[in-house]
Structure 1
Amino acid sequence: MPVPQFPLPPSAPIQLLDLRAQHAPIRAELDEALRQALDEAAFIQGPAVQQFALELSEYLGGPHVVPCANGTDALQLALMALRLPRGAEVIVPAFTYVATLEAAAVLGLVPVPVDVLPDTFNLDPQAVEAAITSRTGAIVAVHLFGQCADLEALRAVADQHGVALIEDNAQAIGATFRTSRGEFWVAGTVGEVGTTSFFPSKNLGGFGDGGALFTRDEARAAYLRQLANHGQTRKYHHEYIGLNSRLDTVQAALLRVKLRYLSQWTAARQHVAASYDAALADLQTISVPARDPRSTHVFHQYTLTVADEPGRRNALQQHLAAHGVPSQVYYPLPNHLQPAYQYLGYHAGQFPVAERLCRTVLSLPIHPTLVQEQLAYVADVVRAWA
C-alpha cells in the first residue's frame, strides 16, 4: 500500500487554541485597559465590571447581565435563584461537561440525565418530556459546541409542565435561534436564567476565571446579584445564604476589550468551519458537524464523529498527532458513568447516543487565527487517514 504523500507542514505550528496569536493585534488595547484598572485600584466591583455588564447586555439584545466568578458558579446561582426544594430533579444532558450536573448536585438537587440528539449533540426534547416527573424543577439546556439546542421545543415543554428552563450558554455566546414564527431568539436569553463562562478557551475568554448570568426579569436579576455577593444588598446585612462570586475588575476591563472583537472572531471561526466542511464533507468514515438550520453556529468546537468501530477514533487522533495536528475529545465519558455520579443509579446502555458520542467524537483545531495554509494541511492529514 503506498504511503500517503503529505504537503509540507505549515510554517507556523498548529495550535488547538492560539490565544497568543489572537491577543497580539489588540495587545495595546489590552495593556491600556490593564493600566487603567491598576491605576484605579478598585479591584472588586470596580467601574469596569458594570461597564462590561452593560456592553454585554447590549451585545445580547438587552437582558440583565449579572457578572460572577466563573461559569460553574453561574449555573449554581441560576439554580439557587429558582428556590427549588432539596431533592428536586434537574434535567440535564447526558453528554456535556460535568459542571452542568455538579451545580445541581452541590445544592442537594438531583441531576436527571437524558439522552441527546445524534446529529447536533444537544438535548432531545422528546427525551426531556419523557423524563419529567412531579419532582422536576428545571431543565438545563446546554448549547453544545456553539449551536443552540432546540429552544422552541424546550421552552414549550418547560411551559407546558410548569418547570424552569436554564440555558448553559458557556459555548455558544452570540448564537441565535429562529423560531417557527420567524422570531430570532438569542442564546442564553430565552430561559428564566442563562449562564456563561469566560474561561480563557471560550469564544469570549478572559485571562483567568469569570462568568455571568442573563435574565430578562429585573427582580430575578436583583436577586442573582444579591446571591452572588454573600446574599447581601447592604454590607454586613445578609438576607439570604449566598456565594462569594464576583467577576474581578481586571477581568472585566480586559473582557471589555475582547467583546469589541467577538463578532469578528465569530465570523473567523465560521470561516474555519466552512473550510473544513468543504474539504471533509465527502468522507465516508467521518462526519462533519451537523447544522440545525434554525440556529447559527459560533463554533466553540469543530467536532467530527468517526465511524463507531473499536479504536478507530483513537487511531485518527494518533495519526493527527504524528503529523503535528492537535485534537481533543470532548467528552470521553458520559456523565451518568462518571464515578462521582454513580449514586444516581444509572448504568451503561441507558443513554446510547451519549455513550456512542463519547466513543466517536474528535474536535479539530478551531480559532480565529488559523490561516488557510494550516486549514488545508489539517484537512489533508484527515483525508489521508480516512
Structure 2
Amino acid sequence: MKVNFYTSKREYDEKKEEFNKAIISVVEKGISTLGPEVVKLEDEIKEFTGAKYAIGVASGTDALVLASDILGFNEGTEVITSPFTFFASASCIARTGAKPVFVDIDEETFNIDVNKIEENITDKTKGILPVHLFLQMADMDKIMDIAKSHNLRVLEDAAEAFGMRWRGNSDEYRHAGTIGDFGIFSFFPTKTLGGYGDGGMIVTNDEKLYEMAKIYRVHGASKKYHHEYIGYNSRLDSIQAAVLSVKMKYINDSIEKREEIGSWYIDGLKDIKEVRIPKILGNQKHVFYVFNILAEKRDELAEYLKEKEIGFSIYYPKPLHLQECFKYLGHKEGDFPVAEKISKEILALPMYPELTREEVEYVCNVIKEFYAK
C-alpha cells in the first residue's frame, strides 16, 4: 500500500465544485490585489481566532519579517528564540538586522524551554519569538510574564499553530498568535489551514501595529506613491484567499479529523518500546498539524518506510545553530544538546484529514515490523 505523507488531491476531489467556483469567480470578476476575497478571509480569521486585526501577506515568512521589522528587531538588538524550528523563525530576526539568541528546547514538547529564557536576557534583548511547534503551544503564561517584567516585545510564530488555543492560568482559551504583540500564520499547502501555494497572515490586537502592518505590506505607503516607511511588497493573493475561505468553512471538522487520526496513531504505536510520542503540557487545546514520533534507529526506520512506500518527513534534521548561515553566531555542536538529540530521533508520519484508518494501521504495522526484525 502506498501512503503519501501529504496530498491535496483528496480534499480537492471532495470539494471540487466549491474550489473551482471560488477560483473562477476571482478571475471572472477581474483579478485585483488585496481585493474582496482577501478582506473576506481577514474577517474570517479575526472571527475564528478572536484577534482584533488581521493582515493578509504573501507568506508566513514575509509575515515574520514584516512583524520583526515593525517591532524593532534591528541592528544592535537581540531576540530570543528556539534553535529547533523552521529556518524562517530565526532568519526573520537576522534579516532585519537583529541577533538571534537561541535557547534550548523542552524534550517532551519540542518547544522552547521557558525556564532558560530569562538567563539569556541582556541589555540588548528586544524581544522573544516563541514557536508553537507541531501540535502544541509554548507556555505563553511564562513567556508573557517574562516579557512584561523585562519590557520585551513578543512575536508568536504560529505558522504551524492554526486552531491551537492556550488557556494556562486564564479564564478563557486564547488562540495561538493572539497573545503576544504580533502573531503570524502560514498557509503553506501542508498546514492545517493550507492554500494552493504560499500565503500568510499577521494578527494583532494593537491598532497602531495593525496600521503599520497594513502600510508595510504595500511598500510602506499609506496611499499610493506616498511612502512613510521603507516597506515590502507582500500581499496575499486573491485566488489563494478564495481557496482558503472555502477551507475555513470546514476548519473545525478538519481539526477534529486530525485529532481522530492522531488517536489511531497513538493506539497503534503505544506498545512499541522503541517509539516515543510527544507529551502535551499546559492547559491548552492542541491540534495535530503533524504527527511526530521519537524513534530509535530513526534513519534506518525512515529507509524501511521508504521501501514500503510510506511518506515521511524529518522536522528538523539539523538545528539552526549548526546551520552554515548562522556560523557567525559562534555556536558549536553540544551548545544545545536537547535540540541536537531530538533532531536525530524525530520522524513525522503522514497526517492530513483525508487519511483512512486502514492507511494509519498499515503505517503502524510497518513500524512494528521494523522493530521486530
Partners of 1:75 and 1:168 within 8 A in 2: yes
Structure 2 counterpart of 1:221? 210
Alpha carbon RMSD of aligned pairs, Å? 1.1
Structure 2 counterpart of 1:302? 291
Partners of 1:17 and 1:365 within 8 A in 2: yes
Structure 2 counterpart of 1:6? none
Cα offset, 1:84, TM superposition: 3.8
Which region of structure 1 is more displaced relative to structure 2, 82-91 or 14-23? 82-91
Indicate yes or no: 2:50 matched with 1:61: yes
Q: How does 1:1-386 map to 2 (within 5 A)?
A: 9=1, 13-307=2-296, 312-386=297-371
Partners of 1:78 and 1:166 within 8 A in 2: yes
Separation in structure 2 between the aligned mates of residue 99 and residue 328 of structure 1, nearest angstrom = 18
Separation in structure 2 between the aligned mates of residue 249 and residue 285 of structure 1, nearest angstrom = 47
Please list the CA deviations of residues 303-344 of structure 1 after superposition, one character each: whole Å capped at 9, or x if unmatched: 00023xxxx110111111122211111100000000000001
TM-score for the superposition, normalised by structure 1? 0.94
Partners of 2:163 and 2:176 within 8 A in 1: yes
Secondary structure of 2:361's aligned partner: helix
Partners of 1:167 and 1:194 within 8 A in 2: yes
Separation in structure 2 between the aligned mates of residue 23 and residue 300 of structure 1, nearest angstrom = 19
Separation in structure 2 between the aligned mates of residue 207 and residue 118 of structure 1, nearest angstrom = 33
Separation in structure 2 between the aligned mates of residue 136 and residue 281 of structure 1, nearest angstrom = 43
Cα offset, 1:87, TM superposition: 2.0
Partners of 1:146 and 1:173 within 8 A in 2: no
Secondary structure of 1:108's aligned partner: coil
Please list the CA deviations of residues 331-369 of structure 1 after superposition, one character each: whole Å capped at 9, or x if unmatched: 000000000000011111010000001100000001101
Separation in structure 1 between the aligned mates of residue 231 and residue 308 of structure 2, nearest angstrom = 50
Separation in structure 2 between the aligned mates of residue 185 and residue 263 of structure 1, nearest angstrom = 16
Please list the CA deviations of residues 191-249 of structure 1 after superposition, one character each: whole Å capped at 9, or x if unmatched: 00001111111111111111010000112101111011111111100011100000011
Separation in structure 1 between the aligned mates of residue 202 and residue 108 of structure 2, nearest angstrom = 28
Cα offset, 1:293, TM superposition: 4.6
Separation in structure 1 between the aligned mates of residue 325 and residue 289 of structure 2, nearest angstrom = 27
- Output the amino acid matched with 2:356: V
Partners of 2:168 and 2:284 within 8 A in 1: no
Gaps of 5+ in 1: 1-8
Cα offset, 1:85, TM superposition: 4.2
Gaps of 5+ in 2: none
Separation in structure 2 between the aligned mates of residue 126 and residue 76 of structure 1, nearest angstrom = 26
Partners of 2:73 and 2:79 within 8 A in 1: no
CA 1:370–1:107 in structure 2 vs 1: closer, same or farther (change >3 Å)?
Answer: same
- Output the amino acid matched with 1:292: L
Structure 2 counterpart of 1:5? none
Cα offset, 1:254, TM superposition: 1.1
Separation in structure 2 between the aligned mates of residue 45 and residue 323 of structure 1, nearest angstrom = 45
Secondary structure of 2:79's aligned partner: strand
Give percent identity, aligned residues only.
36
Partners of 2:107 and 2:338 within 8 A in 1: yes
| Aligned residue pair count | 371
CA 1:128–1:293 in structure 2 vs 1: closer, same or farther (change >3 Å)?
Answer: closer
- Output the amino acid matched with 1:185: R
